[in-house]
Amino acid sequence: MDSMSLWHQAVLFTHVMAFAVTLSAVLREDLRLLATRRVEPMRLRQTMRVVSAGLAVLWATGLALVAVSAAASPMPWAPNAKLCAKLVVVTLLTLNGCALHVCVFPRLQAGTFSWTAGLRLPAALGAISSASWVYAAFVGVARPLSPAMPFAGFMALYAAALAMALFLARVLLGTAPAMHQRSRRLQRRLHTVTPRRGASAGECR
């Protein structure tokens, strides 16, 4: 194996590992927020650092892989639908991450969002983030589809994934207030029907 092949494998391995770590951090934080509906500033800052570092490594290694492939290809500027789709998705991921860092994360840490209409923007950006990361993983392993699927096909699938993610985010956001009200009603009922220890002791006498 020549030095160019070794370099390509090393860069590819770093690219895949960075993607796996970043994707797991994003999905873990999204699932935790949905499950607990509570923001932990320290964990959120850690996730922000992981995602920022992961995106930087992905851009660096991805561009290096493109350069290596272009140098080895007899037609380096030939259109590649899979590569173009991946570049579009990663660019949107980066822009979406910037919007989350600037518009959402500071307010989540400050606690100025509530689980009502104020969370529409964070829910939408979070849905776009999760769907884009998952779709980027799909594009990364979609080499068998690359010869048969044009760029428009990849983008149509991406649009469908975004639409589904935004719909699910809307549904979950709409059920959050009702779930919160039912939880509060249940707590009040339990508090009402649960006898106090003093009262129970008096009745036993």
DSSP collapsed to 3 states, the chain: CCHHHHHHHHHHHHHHHHHHHHHHHHHHHHHHHHHHCCCCHHHHHHHHHHHHHHHHHHHHHHHHHHHHHHHHCCCCCCCCHHHHHHHHHHHHHHHHHHHHHHHHHHHHHHCCCCCCHHHHHHHHHHHHHHHHHHHHHHHHCCHHHCCCCCHHHHHHHHHHHHHHHHHHHHHHHHHHHHHHHHHHHHHHHHHHHCCCHHHHHHHHC
At residue 146, does pLDDT exceed 70?
yes
Tell whether the torsion through CA atoms of 10, 11, 12 and 14 is positive or negative: positive
pLDDT digits (tens, 9 = 90+) for 54-63: 999 999 998 8
- Evaluate whether residue 175 is within a structural domain: yes
Q: In angstroms, rounded to a whole number, what is the distance separating the alpha carbons of residues 24 and 47? A: 10
Count up the domains in the chain and report the number: 1
- Evaluate whether residue 203 is within a structural domain: no
pLDDT range class, residue 74, cuts 50, 70, 90: low
- Evaluate whether residue 201 is within a structural domain: no
* Residues of the domain holding 140: 3-195
- Evaluate whether residue 200 is within a structural domain: no
Q: In angstroms, rounded to a whole number, what is the distance separating the alpha carbons of residues 110 and 187? A: 27
Tokens coding 40: 């932990």
At residue 117, does pLDDT exceed 80?
no
Specify the residue for token string 């590819």.
12
pLDDT digits (tens, 9 = 90+) for 14-54: 999 999 999 888 888 877 776 666 667 777 778 888 988 99
Torsion of CA 126, 28, 158, 10, to 10 degrees: 130
Q: In angstroms, rounded to a whole number, what is the distance separating the alpha carbons of residues 72 and 174? A: 52
- Evaluate whether residue 35 is within a structural domain: yes
Look up the pTM and report it. Answer: 0.72
- Evaluate whether residue 63 is within a structural domain: yes
Amino acid at 165: A
- Evaluate whether residue 202 is within a structural domain: no
Q: In angstroms, rounded to a whole number, what is the distance separating the alpha carbons of residues 30 and 37? A: 10
